[in-house]
Amino acid sequence: MRRLPPLNSIRAFEATARHLSFTKAADELNVTPGAVSQQVKVLEDYLNLKLFKRKNRLILLTDEAQICLPLLSEGLDKLSQGINTIREQSNDKPLTITASTTFASRWLLPRLTKFHKEFPDIDVRIEANNVLSDLVNDDIDVGIRFGDGNYPGLEAEYLFSQSVIPVCHPSLLEENDIQVPEDLKNHTLLHPGNDSFYLNDKTHIDWEMWFATVGVKDVDLDHGLHYAQYSLLLDAVLAGQGVALVGDSVVRDEIKAGRLVKLFGNTDIELTFAYYLAYSKSKANLPRLKIFRQWLLQKVKEMQDQA
């Protein structure tokens, strides 16, 4: 049988020890500094030793407190994760997915209609942004990430690779003669901003590197249109404003529907990064996550079979 002091006394000590301040600990715990001090005293009485020593207006940890602080912090983290795991098992909670804005809008959302038809009892919440979410501590079930698959503390499953390809609107081909890469010297190039998925890749594929790879020289790379967001660049190429370098997976549906045309036949450049399904190990057995994982892997297989 475990003999433990009151949980509130442990929380009060751990917060005070991290901040070395009763006031800041009180703000974190949403109580008064006096209440924090009282709870720390409860723990000191339980242990029969002092946890803090005062020096002028500062409070410092005693040797014993310094030794136990990391263990108590880790224990509270695990307790929090355990409680969250119990809460997450509720079938009433929505499946929360995070993905980049472009991937969510161009690849995931068009397919989620089928997911909802197949699993109408699972509500879905999408958090689309270009900032990596904390899949361990945030209220998120699963993320689709573009990277190297090395995510400490997470399960990561490979989905598919990504290649950079040149594309344009069909009307551009009808009005212009574009047969070989060198023909692009005479056409408007669309340039992405810094949030583009492939600019985070170690290969950093842009127009300069693409032209170098295909052996075309003396291209005016300052010429063309520049877009701060990758989503705007995709809108621009769909509107027929020029030729863009894009990830093949995010425009696959547009090419299949004839809204975009892939140029040339052998100029694809595969990136070192790829798409991965990532989730916290503590959430791996959530029923809604297991269903989504199986469904997503099937959709990836279907996409690859149709390629």
| Residue 152, domain member (yes or no) | yes
Report how far apart, in Å, the C-alpha atoms of 306 and of each of 124, 163, 217, 295, 297 are.
26, 17, 35, 17, 14
Q: Are 259 and 178 within one domain?
A: yes
Contact 244, 263 (CB under 8 A): no
Contact 149, 263 (CB under 8 A): no
Per-residue pLDDT tens, the chain, 307 aa: give them: 567 788 888 888 888 889 988 889 889 888 898 888 898 888 888 888 898 888 887 888 888 888 888 888 888 887 777 766 666 555 568 899 999 888 998 899 999 999 999 999 999 999 988 777 888 888 899 999 998 999 988 999 999 998 999 999 999 888 888 899 999 988 899 988 654 444 444 445 789 889 998 999 988 888 889 888 888 899 999 999 999 999 898 898 899 999 999 999 888 888 888 999 999 988 888 899 999 999 999 999 998 887 6
| Residue 2, domain member (yes or no) | no
> Of 31, 64, 88, which residue is a domain's last?
88
What letter would DSSP give residue 43?
H
pTM above 0.85, yes or no: no
The structural domain count of the chain equals 3
Question: Looking up tokens 């108590």, which residue turns up?
Answer: 72
Q: Are 154 and 277 within one domain?
A: yes
| Residue 56, domain member (yes or no) | yes
d(CA 209, CA 215): 10
Pairing verdict, β 142-147 and 95-99: parallel
Q: Residue 114 sits in which domain range? A: 95-159+273-306
Contact 100, 196 (CB under 8 A): no
> Of 54, 71, 88, which residue is a domain's last?
88
What letter would DSSP give residue 94?
P
pLDDT of residue 174: 86
